[in-house]
Amino acid sequence: MIQGSCLCKAVTFTIANNPVKVSHCHCIMCQKGHGAAFATYARFKRSDVTYLTGENKLITYNSSEDVLRKFCGKCGSNIEWGCSERMPQWVAIAVASLDSPIDSTKMKNLHLESRAAWLHSLPDSSS
């Protein structure tokens, strides 16, 4: 069982299974929405995600024609995005909101054409 929450802990949730995909998304919307060079999301079956508290505190933003993004209305933490009509059975959860480790060995970089110009290779933390 995977557990997750927002920064203020108003929104808490569990996920019944491991993700089917984990991606670093470098699109402009993810950069702006997260205030970062990219956003890391894990895709799950929507039926595997259960909100324990604060689902009523989630604010929904329609960032494009078919994409709904949800974030905590109290602290602003990004929680999920999904395609309302195209793939309603899937949801992408912000990996930074997870309190439990996940198998992240299969990561993919998406939308590198809009990669932040200032993002360079990260230095080795052992140096």
How confident is the prediction along the chain (127 residues), in pLDDT tens digits per residue?
999 999 999 999 999 999 999 999 998 989 998 999 999 999 999 999 999 999 999 999 988 888 889 999 999 999 999 876 777 889 999 999 999 998 776 788 888 889 888 877 655 544 3
Check: CB of residue 42 under 8 Å from CB of residue 27. no
Pick the CATH number of 2-109 from 1.20.140.10, 2.170.150.70, 3.40.47.10, 3.90.1200.10: 2.170.150.70
Q: Is the pTM of this model over 0.85?
A: yes
Check: CB of residue 122 under 8 Å from CB of residue 80. no
Enclosing H/E stretch for 119: none
Within 13 Å, how many C-alpha atoms sit on residue 79's CB side? 31
Percentages helix, strand, coil for the chain, rounded to the nearest 5? 15, 45, 45
Two tokens at 2?
A: 């995977």
